[in-house]
Structure 1
Amino acid sequence: MPARRLPDIAALEVVVAVGRLGSMGAAARDLGLSQQAVSSRVRAVEHELGVEIFIRSPAGVEPTENGRLVLEWANALVERAAEFVAGVDTLIGNRHATLVVAASMTVAEYLVPGWLTTLTSRTGARISVRPMNSAEVIETVRSGDADLGFVESPGETADLDAALVATDELYVVAAPGHRWSRTGSVSADELASTPLIQREPGSGTRITYEKALSELGLVAADPLIELRSVTAIRSSVLTSNGVTVLSRLSIADDIAAGRLVRIDVDGLSMVRPLRAVWTSHITVRGPARELLDVALASTT
């Protein structure tokens, strides 16, 4: 059987907007399109996939049972497409960058964009941001391939200088249908023995979680799945009724909207520092100093 053709990303963006806003008209206004164009693109995606995504009514639209899954997957695909475009822009920027920044995934996705907006409004510096896990950030800065790094893992930063720029907390979260979501809590012993959807080894999130358990004399079970991005983990949890550990920065909206449920774990503390790192005995100057100052000022 021939492979199913991938729907047009622009059309999927329209479908996601309709699902988020609850009506064709609201999506049309949000996207700057006619309502007819929005309706046409939604029908085209439904026809191409062979799945009815929405139930239409005078009051708006409501996702079907299958439609909810399609919307989750479509949202993840649209986000990945945006990351692809940003990545290509970064590659192009690398050719002329005056400041190369290595940043752990959570920092890169949820803090760096705001810092860069402030910085670029003040200077004309060209900046290249390279998202990676915390262990990779340390190696990249140590090797001289980045001028400044941001990590989210606890513990020593080897032979690098460091400055605290913020604090973060990890939450254990589950899909609403998971059995832990009904009670809202679980013991540390049961958590440790449960395979979770997790980041890869070297990730600050993974390191923090395993360190917090070790302080209670516990060892984390091997992961159910390992994924390298917050977006992929979130999507996997939602579609598989799973459990994970993620930064509050990345899931605050999901918790508020009821898409994810925070699970309390008695005695488990997962507060962690977010730090800037750079080569020891080197004075941070120019755009790197300006970015560091912006990051430090944002938490004071």
Structure 2
Amino acid sequence: MDLEAVRTFVAVAETGQFRRASVDLALTQQAVSKRVAVLERELGVRLFVRTPHGAELTIDGQAFLPHARELLRAAERAVASVRAGRRPLRVDVLNSRGAASGLMRGFHRAHPEVELDVLMMFDIEAAVAAIRSGAIDASFRAVVAPGRPLPEDIVSVRVLDEPLQLLTGPRHALARARSVSVAELAGHRIWMPGIVPGTEWAAYYDDLVAEFGLGIEATGPNFGSDALLDTIADTPALATFMSEQTRLVWPAGHGLRRIPVTGPTPVYPHSLLWHRDNPHPALVALRAHLAATGTGHDAAGTWRPGWVLPR
């Protein structure tokens, strides 16, 4: 379908006149009429009825108009996808309080000239699909969950191994410990209502439980981090895991404790994913920044699942 003919049709529909559309498009009125006629022949319907006041859409024209507009928007997105650097770098950080968000804040401070769109996508499948379609440029994920190999056109690199900490209330049995070993956590109730089956973090904690015999409970509704902190503060028998760089604020009266976990230290692996053919120059800058500021991975005395990609 001739997109210029579609563009001309939309212009006539929005102005209500062939003459005004010709002015907006910098064409002769005859050229506008010719383009519309070509489109009508291709579709096999009449799109306009000429009136003394201009042009009115037929029923078929009214039905075609929203689709015509979507065709033009799709064409604009297609053109924008190959104009590297002329649009913001779009990066998925999963959530606003996690390590990935902190990494992007660091990148923004180092490169304030780079325009960014930071968004949050819950599902890894949706994130990968968005990378492949060009809707986003990159995503921070734990790669890869068992049985979920990445498509061949998606590249990943580990950018951060983030230690887990134990978060307790002031009356918990381990609250005064400077650190706790994984073995010491056996028999303690660790409550994590935010674990969702099928996610990469659910796969991570499943392996952690299997490896060290921990008791992690994901029961009950997930009312968010504030409600989780309230419950941990008020319930001596409960603790939860919190990633080291997760940014949380709680009332002073909660008296919560963040305690390092050792022997080994479970680390949550963060990787950056992108499409191997993505030409956006800011993506190159982001990867270079992460490589220069990263702390490495697979350090001695740490644990992570065997399915995590080393690169």
TM-score, normalising length: structure 2? 0.51
- Give the structure 2 partner of residue 214 of structure 1: 210
Cα shift readout 1:236-259 (whole Å, capped 9, x = no counterpart): 4335554111111126999xx963
1:99 to 75, 82, 89: 89
The reply to whether residue 175 of structure 1 matches residue 164 of structure 2 is no
Partner secondary structure for residue 158 of structure 1: coil
Answer yes or no: is the 8 Å Cα contact 2:195–2:218 preserved in 1. no
- Structure 1 residues 234 and 114: alpha-carbon distance in aligned structure 2, compared to 1, 3 A threshold: farther
Distance 1:291 1:222 in 2: 37
The percentage of counterpart residues that share the same residue type is 16
- Structure 1 residues 206 and 237: alpha-carbon distance in aligned structure 2, compared to 1, 3 A threshold: farther
Post-superposition shift, 1:299? 1.5
The reply to whether residue 288 of structure 1 matches residue 283 of structure 2 is yes
- Structure 1 residues 231 and 99: alpha-carbon distance in aligned structure 2, compared to 1, 3 A threshold: farther
Post-superposition shift, 1:235? 4.8
Partner secondary structure for residue 276 of structure 1: strand
Distance 1:171 1:249 in 2: 10
Q: Which runs of 5+ in 2 are unaligned?
A: 1-85, 296-311
Distance 1:233 1:223 in 2: 12
Post-superposition shift, 1:150? 1.1
The equivalences for 1:258-273 within 5 A come to: 259-262=256-259, 264=261, 269-273=265-269
1:163 to 139, 149, 157: 157
- Structure 1 residues 113 and 157: alpha-carbon distance in aligned structure 2, compared to 1, 3 A threshold: farther
More displaced 10-residue stretch of structure 1: 289-298 or 233-242: 233-242
The equivalences for 1:1-300 within 5 A come to: 98-105=88-95, 106-120=98-112, 123=113, 125-133=114-122, 135=124, 137-152=127-142, 155=145, 158-159=150-151, 160-181=154-175, 185=180, 187-191=184-188, 194=189, 196-201=191-196, 204-216=200-212, 218=213, 220-225=215-220, 227=222, 233-241=228-236, 242-250=238-246, 259-262=256-259, 264=261, 269-279=265-275, 281-299=276-294
Distance 1:127 1:107 in 2: 17
Post-superposition shift, 1:153? 5.4
AA of the residue aligned to 1:131: M
Distance 1:109 1:225 in 2: 27
Distance 1:226 1:203 in 2: 17
Distance 2:221 2:264 in 1: 22
Post-superposition shift, 1:277? 0.3
Q: Which structure is larger by alpha-carbon Rg, 1 or 2?
A: 2
- Structure 1 residues 294 and 260: alpha-carbon distance in aligned structure 2, compared to 1, 3 A threshold: same
More displaced 10-residue stretch of structure 1: 283-292 or 269-278: 283-292
Comparing both structures, which one devotes a greater share of its residues to helix?
1
Partner secondary structure for residue 249 of structure 1: coil
Distance 2:122 2:186 in 1: 27
- Give the structure 2 partner of residue 42 of structure 1: none
TM-score, normalising length: structure 1? 0.52
Cα shift readout 1:41-83 (whole Å, capped 9, x = no counterpart): xxxxxxxxxxxxxxxxxxxxxxxxxxxxxxxxxxxxxxxxxxx
Answer yes or no: is the 8 Å Cα contact 2:167–2:259 preserved in 1. yes
Answer yes or no: is the 8 Å Cα contact 1:169–1:270 preserved in 2. yes
Q: Which runs of 5+ in 1 are unaligned?
A: 1-95
